[in-house]
Amino acid sequence: MVLANKLNIESQVELNRAEERLSKKKARQLFESGDIDKVEVGTFAGLAYIHAYLFDEVCDFAGQVRDVNLAKGNSRFAPVMYLQQSLAHISAMPQQTFEQIIEKYVEMNVAHPFREGNGRATRIWLDLMLKKEIRQVIDWNAVDKAEYLSAMERSVVKDLEIKHLLMGALTDQINDRELYMKGIDVSYYYEGYSEYRVEDL
The pLDDT score that the predictor gives to residue 3 is 79
Provide the residue range defining the domain that includes 67: 12-192
**Residue 90 resides in a domain:** yes
Task: Work out the number of other CB atoms within 10 angstroms of the CB of residue 13.
Answer: 9
Residue 176 maps to which CATH number? Answer: 1.10.3290.10
Round to whole Å and give the CA distance between 147 and 135. 25
Q: What is the pLDDT along the chain (201 residues), one digit of tens a residue?
A: 777 888 888 888 998 999 999 999 999 999 999 999 999 999 999 999 999 999 999 999 999 999 999 988 777 899 999 999 999 999 999 999 999 999 999 999 999 999 999 999 999 999 999 999 999 999 999 999 999 999 999 998 999 999 999 999 999 999 999 999 999 999 999 999 999 999 998
Amino acid in position 177: R
**Residue 4 resides in a domain:** no
**Residue 45 resides in a domain:** yes
Domains of the chain: total: 1
* Total-model pTM: 0.95
**38, 126, 181, 10: CA torsion to nearest 10:** -90
**Residue 62 resides in a domain:** yes
Residues contacting 133, CB < 8 A, separation 6+: 95, 96, 97, 101
**Residue 1 resides in a domain:** no
Residues contacting 62, CB < 8 A, separation 6+: 51, 52, 54, 55, 56, 117
